[in-house]
Structure 1
């Protein structure tokens, strides 16, 4: 919780300048968001509507989803002949998030709402804390949204704690084809505990027939160690190991690192929902998105460089905390990572698998 946040500021390695991929993922999930809000307005008809964006982050994407939600509420209200409800919007992320950056954009959002929609009864605030646990008063939320966040676990799986000085996942940062079943089960158990707690927490906070749309990295394969679920971590591990081979980093530090991350399948998510019983899945989509799906207008920049910068903006705070590399060595790590990715992309197109799932709160 203390180190899991995106790179802050507006520098070259910041999340603000390297989050085009996440913006596209929000866009792809927008039709499911629209459908969910239509159902809420038609079935619940709230006078005051509680909305939460979980894992809002910072930078240009932080208010993208909220702006879309507000626009949709306005359009749907007109379509079905209802007054636009009062909107209570919570922006949630971990305490390390750059909320000040988010708040700077709020005046622009308020002006847009008033000018374009005539909406004045909208209240937006930040709420730091983990969504793996209670955040809101009981039955206060009508719509919950989260994009590119729930593949992050609450912690490194407890089952990976070293035993008698022996690390269970040597030379790897996450699951890989060489991971033992002990390591795989530790990640699966942590996902089960976290997602189960997430569902229980949201169930208390949401009204009957409330909706939730979640979008996160996952996989199609039943195998948690499939390349589509973990190859970016495999290649980053290779870049770190190359530093070890050159005497620039202790191998023990790599052996001791395990990413608090898990890419589930739709079937795993559905099992957790069925087990909890508070929600039903009323829509699900799996789609591919290329690793290099950002701005390609600068022909002097390689695909590997763009991909490495996108990943660096997300994982650098974790790497800094664990490896203590310093700026020069961190730059060298990502130079090597860039070359490794370029080599892979010259042979094949690499794609992430993203899950977008819509849920309804049971009565």
Structure 2
């Protein structure tokens, strides 16, 4: 699976689109807002640069795409007003893989700019918004051009399916599973962990080169508290694999295709994240906090709405459908509705017996001063 060309959220605004099924991701952005505000104000505490570079990595599309950028601009504007200082020009970079629905974002920009003019007035500095297609597991921006970097619900996606998931004889080692399961061999979990370490190190190294000294970065991703990689959010993949295996037994999909599918996903533990940040060495770890992002209930304040299996299935479908189509071929489109109908039923059954949850990890980092040459 070529992740860079295959991985994208469902495009458009239809019933199975990401735009209509990204409630959980919106909740995650909301949870991380205090960290974003603290980080941006930390950037502005000593001086306000003439030109402020902000990047949102893994921006996707739909209603969430400009949420963090809008919040960041609000914070900068309020700080400038408080200090009686002219607002800087703001350079906004929206990044995702080339297959992302950038057209959806670009079509919303006229309204975005008009809203800025109305709310901030003519005295607010210019805001330049650019789309930057490419993998964030590598360089994307010029050296020392960014003051604030944000990424939400993205870093749990790997740059590739880990190597080492087949034996030397070509036998699938994770048969019947799409991700790490309690029955997966230890080498499978190790392969996933090793791939995440390589990817995350490259991510930190790339951002280190692109950020100014003292620049801040806030990352939110699915993770885990447990040392067991098959714990917490892995159940979503487990249920999807069970739905596919059941369909394979009826000849609706190829069993060998099910066996050979491995998700390019990894939910790291908090200890793994801390270790890799320390080992890479370019950033100070300011905060690392975990939150429960439940699948069975969602809401704000006292208003809670129970998630149905159908709703969860739509959210998962909006994220994984492109990968399934690429791996299984166009024929799976004929049975895609049936697959997620079964998946919805399995989720409903699971939620009657379990308190399902995902663990969200929010990390706030500051770019260290580069060591001086001797």
Same fold (TM over 0.5): yes
CA distance in 2, matches of 1:188, 1:43: 39
CA distance in 1, matches of 2:167, 2:326: 19
CA distance in 2, matches of 1:350, 1:360: 33
Contact in 1 for aligned 2:137/2:200 (Cα 8 Å):
yes
Contact in 2 for aligned 1:176/1:225 (Cα 8 Å):
yes
The root-mean-square deviation of aligned C-alpha atoms, in Å, is: 1.8
In structure 1, the residue matched to 2:104 is: 101
CA distance in 1, matches of 2:297, 2:19: 16
CA shift for structure 1 position 349? 2.3
Of stretches 89-98 and 113-122 in structure 1, the one that deviates more from structure 2 is 113-122
Q: Any idea what SS the aligned residue of 1:259 has?
A: coil
CA distance in 2, matches of 1:37, 1:82: 16
CA distance in 1, matches of 2:205, 2:132: 19
Q: Any idea what SS the aligned residue of 2:262 has?
A: coil
CA distance in 2, matches of 1:317, 1:13: 12
Contact in 2 for aligned 1:114/1:120 (Cα 8 Å):
no
CA distance in 2, matches of 1:272, 1:109: 37
Q: Any idea what SS the aligned residue of 1:346 has?
A: helix
CA distance in 1, matches of 2:43, 2:212: 10
Contact in 2 for aligned 1:292/1:306 (Cα 8 Å):
no
Q: Write out aligned runs for 1:113-262 (5 A).
A: 113-118=116-121, 119-226=124-231, 228-262=232-266
CA distance in 2, matches of 1:285, 1:75: 27
Q: Any idea what SS the aligned residue of 1:184 has?
A: helix
CA shift for structure 1 position 327? 2.9
In structure 1, the residue matched to 2:293 is: 289
Q: 1:323 aligns with which of 320, 328, 331?
A: 328
Contact in 1 for aligned 2:174/2:184 (Cα 8 Å):
yes
In structure 2, the residue matched to 1:349 is: 355
CA distance in 1, matches of 2:238, 2:27: 24
CA distance in 2, matches of 1:67, 1:49: 14
CA shift for structure 1 position 80? 3.4
Contact in 1 for aligned 2:217/2:366 (Cα 8 Å):
yes
CA distance in 2, matches of 1:62, 1:49: 19
Contact in 2 for aligned 1:294/1:306 (Cα 8 Å):
no
Rate the CA distance shift 1:356–1:52 in 2: closer, same or farther, 3 A: same
CA distance in 2, matches of 1:242, 1:56: 35
Contact in 2 for aligned 1:42/1:80 (Cα 8 Å):
no
Q: 1:79 aligns with which of 82, 87, 92?
A: 82
CA displacement 1:298-330 (0-9 Å, x = unmatched): x9x970000000000000000011112433301
CA distance in 2, matches of 1:196, 1:339: 39
Name stretches of at least 5 consecutive residues in structure 2 with no aligned partner.
Answer: 370-374
Compute the TM-score of the two structures, normalised by the length of structure 2. Answer: 0.93
CA distance in 2, matches of 1:6, 1:44: 38
CA shift for structure 1 position 248? 1.3
In structure 2, the residue matched to 1:58 is: 61
Q: Any idea what SS the aligned residue of 1:178 has?
A: coil
In structure 1, the residue matched to 2:310 is: 305
Rate the CA distance shift 1:316–1:287 in 2: closer, same or farther, 3 A: same
CA distance in 2, matches of 1:27, 1:91: 19
In structure 1, the residue matched to 2:19 is: 16
Of stretches 286-295 and 135-144 in structure 1, the one that deviates more from structure 2 is 286-295
CA distance in 2, matches of 1:313, 1:359: 30
CA shift for structure 1 position 162? 4.8
Rate the CA distance shift 1:115–1:316 in 2: closer, same or farther, 3 A: same
Of stretches 206-215 and 178-187 in structure 1, the one that deviates more from structure 2 is 178-187
CA shift for structure 1 position 63? 0.7
Q: Any idea what SS the aligned residue of 2:157 has?
A: coil
CA displacement 1:175-197 (0-9 Å, x = unmatched): 01111111011001100000000
Rate the CA distance shift 1:121–1:182 in 2: closer, same or farther, 3 A: same
